Chain A
Amino acid sequence: MSPGTRTKIAVLGVLLLVLLLVPILLPSAFHLRVAALVWINATAALGLALLMGQAGQVSLGHAGFMGIGAYATALGPKHLGLDPLASMALGTLAAGLLALLVGRPILRLKGHYLAVATLGLGILVHLVIVSEVPITGGPDGIQVPRLEFLGWRLVGPELWYGITGTVLLLAAWLALNLEDSATGRALRALHDSEIAASVVGVDVARHKLVVFVIAAVYAAIAGGLFALFNRFVTPDVAGFLRSIELVTMVVIGGMGSIAGAIVGAALLTVLPQALTLFHEYEHAVLGFLIILFMVFLRQGIVPGLAGLLARRRLA
C-alpha cells in the first residue's frame, strides 16, 4: 500500500467515524444543525485548501463563488420556475465557468497582486447581489423554496445532516484522490517553484486553472447546500468577511492538509455559535483567537499535532 493510499484511508475512515458518532453523542436538533453547517463550510474550505495548500495560490474572494451557488439555488425556482436542485447544478456550472474565464489572467498574478485581484472579484459578486434588489432581494436576503425529491419533502435536521455529511465525504474522497494523482504532484511542484515545474514539463498555467475551477465548484456546491439547508440566504454568504473566514479555516487547520481544512471549518463554525453567549464580544474574541492561532500555531492544528506526535514517537 502506498503512503498516499494509507493517508487516504486514514482520513476518510476518521471522517466517516466522526460523521457516524456525532448524531449518537449529540442528538439534539440544534447540534445536528450546527454540525450540518460545519460539513457545508468544510466542503468549501476543502476546495480552497486544494488551491492554497497544494497549488500555493491564495484567493481572498472565494465566498463570491459560494454566493453564486447559493443565489442560483434561490433565484432559479423564483424567476425561472426551475427545480432547486437543477438551479444548484446551474449555479455550480456558472461558478465553474466564471473561474475558467477569469482564472487564466488572475492566476498569472503573484503574491499580493493575486490577493487583491481575487478580493476584487469577490467584492464585485457581493456588490451585484446587494445592488440588484428586484432580482436578488438585496441586503434583506431571499427565501429559498423547500427541496422536494420524487414527491418527498426534504426537511428535518437529521436528513440534512446526512446529506451534507455525504457530500463532504465525497468531496474529501475526490480531494484526496486529486492530491495523490499526477495533477496533485504537478500542483505541489509548481507550489515549490513554478520555473522548476515548467522546466520538467508541467503546464503551470493549465494546472493552476484546473485547481482554481475545482475550488470554485466546491465553494458553489457548498453555497447551494447552504441555501437549501438554511432556506434563506443573505448577501453575507458572498461577503468579504466570509471569504476571510474560509481562508482562516484553511490556514488554522493547516495549509496543505485536507484533514486540516475540515478541522479549521469545524472550529470556525462552532466557535461563533459558542460565543453567541457573549454576543457583544463575538468579533473581538474571534479577532483575538485568529491572532493567537496564527502567532503560536503557525503551521496549523493538524500538521502541528502531527509534528508533536512524530516527535514523541522519536523520543
Chain B
Amino acid sequence: MAELVQLLFAGLTTGAVYALVALGFTLIFQASEVVNFAQGEFVMLGGMVTVFAMKAGLPLPLSALLAVLVAVATGVLLHRLAIEPAKGATVVTLIIVTIGASILVRGLAQILFDKQFHALPAFTGDEPLRVLGAAILPQSLWVLGGAAAIVFGLWLFMERTLLGKAVRATAANRLAAELVGIDTRLVLALAFAVSAAIGAVGGILVTPITLTSYAVGTLLALKGFAAAMLGGIGNPVGAVAGGLFLGLLEAFAAGWISSTYKDGVAFLVILLVLFLMPQGLFGRRAVERV
C-alpha cells in the first residue's frame, strides 16, 4: 500500500508537469495549428532564470516572476520573429522552425547561464509528509496544487472572459473570427504568451524536486507532445489527462519494471495507443472530405 501511494504521488507530480507542457502545446495548436517543439524550453527558462535570479540575490517570488516574464517575452518573440513570418508554410516546415527555435534558446541558455545542474530550495521545507506509510515531499503538493490552479484559471479565462472567447473563436475558424472583428494576430501572440507562462510556472514548481539545466527542455517537449497526442491533439482536457496518465505510467514502470526503460515505456505505450486508436484517447475521428 505504501509503495502504491508513493508511486502514485511520484507519477502525479511528473504527470502534472507533462500536463502543463501538453496544455501549452494544445493552446498554441488550437490557435495556430503549429506544434511548438520549443515548449520544453519555456519550462527550462522558468527553472533556470529563477535559479540565477536567486543567485543574484533576489527573493524567490520576485525571481519566479522575472522567470515567467522572460519566458513570456521569449514566447512572444518566437511568434513574432519565427512563426508569423513563416505563415502558410507546411506542417513539417513549421515543426522544423520551432525545433530550430528550441535549439537556439537552448544554445543561448548554455552561453548565458552554464552547463551545470541547479536546484531551487523547496518552497515550504523538505520535511516529507507521511500519507498511508508513504513519504510525500511538500513540494509535490505545490506542483499538483499549482497545476490544478493553472488548469482551473485557464478554464475560467477561456469560458468566462471576452478575450478567452476570442481565442476559442480563432481556434474554431480564423477567417470567421476576423470577420466579426477579432484581432487574430493579438490572439495568436496571446496564445504563445500564455503557453510560455504556463510552461515557466511548471518549471519553477518542479525544479526543487527534479533539478534543472539548460538541456532539460528537449525530453520535456517530446513527452509533452506525446501526452498531447495521447489525449488527441487540440483537446485541453485530453492534454491534462494524457499528461497525468503518462506520468503515472512512467512512475509505475520505473517502480515495477525497470527504471532504465522508464522513458521508453511511455513511448512504447504511445505507439500502441496510436496503432489501436489512431486519433488518440480523446480525439474525434477525422473524416476527410473529397
Contacts and interface: CB of A to CB of B under 8 A. Distances in A.
A pairs with B: yes
B254 to A, nearest CB: 13
A282 B102 CA distance: 14
A291 B263 CA distance: 29
The binding surface of chain A is classed by DSSP as helix
Contacts of A109: 274, 278
Contacts of B229: 112-113, 116
Interface string A50-69: 00100000101000000000
B226 A112 contact: no
Chain A interface residue number, banded: 35 or more
The binding surface of chain B is classed by DSSP as helix
A108 interface: yes
A298 B270 contact: no
B190 interface: no
A36 B73 CA distance: 42
B218 interface: yes
A115 B95 contact: yes
A195 B271 CA distance: 25
A127 interface: yes
Chain B interface residue number, banded: 35 or more
A273 interface: no
A211 interface: no
A112 B35 contact: yes
B257 interface: no
B104 A288 contact: yes
B222 A119 contact: yes
Nearest to B274: A117
Given A52-B92, A112-B229, A119-B222, A290 B107 contact: no
B103 A283 contact: yes
Interface in A251-301: 251, 255, 280-291, 294-296, 298
B233 interface: yes
B110 A280 contact: yes
Nearest to A298: B89
Given A112-B91, A116-B225, A284 B264 contact: no
B92 A255 contact: yes
A255 B85 CA distance: 20
A120 B274 CA distance: 11
Interface in B201-243: 218, 222, 225-226, 229, 233
15 contacts: A58-B95, A60-B95, A112-B91, A116-B225, A116-B229, A119-B222, A240-B218, A241-B218, A284-B108, A285-B107, A286-B104, A287-B101, A287-B104, A290-B97, A290-B103
